[in-house]
């Protein structure tokens, strides 16, 4: 049996590496513990008022607080400064429950 690859799929290893890097930067910038969870997703939207693609970083802390950071770029295009800007753009206590 031969393995088949999806010709339309993006490079999996590049996406995984970039997601790990975004998680690392987020952990460093927010001074998170190893027990806190960081999830990185790339989402697309076809609605008129929403960006066509964005990267969402969800942080779930062990204290029960959560926060969501959004960068209106594809996951592979997100840079360190984009995460810094997303954190700075958060209103005080926004997204933390």
Chain segment 43-74, per-residue pLDDT in tens:
998 888 888 899 999 999 998 899 999 999 99
Confidence (pTM):
0.80
Judge whether residue 95 has pLDDT over 50: no
Q: Give the CA distances from residue 82 to residues 2, 40, 54, 56, 88, in Å, rounded to whole numbers and listed in that order.
A: 41, 14, 12, 12, 10
pLDDT of residue 94: 52
Q: Band of the pLDDT at 29, cuts 50, 70, 90?
A: very high
Of the candidates 14, 17, 66, the one whose C-alpha atom is nearest the C-alpha of residue 37 is 66
Judge whether residue 18 has pLDDT over 80: yes
Q: State the burial class of residue 72 (Cβ atoms within 10 Å of its Cβ: 0-12, 13-18, 19+).
A: middle
Residues in the chain: 97
> Across the chain, what does the average pLDDT equal?
87
Q: What angle do CA 18, 20, 23 make, to 5 degrees?
A: 110
């Amino acid at each position: 049996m031969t393995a088949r690859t999806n010709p339309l799929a993006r490079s999996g290893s590049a996406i995984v590496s970039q997601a790990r890097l975004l998680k690392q930067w987020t952990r460093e910038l927010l001074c998170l513990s190893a027990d806190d969870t960081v999830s990185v997703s790339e989402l697309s939207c076809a609605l008129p008022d929403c960006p066509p693609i964005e990267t969402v970083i969800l942080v779930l802390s062990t204290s029960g607080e959560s926060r969501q950071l959004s960068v209106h770029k594809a996951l592979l295009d997100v840079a360190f400064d984009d995460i810094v800007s997303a954190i700075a753009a958060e209103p005080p206590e926004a997204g933390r429950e």
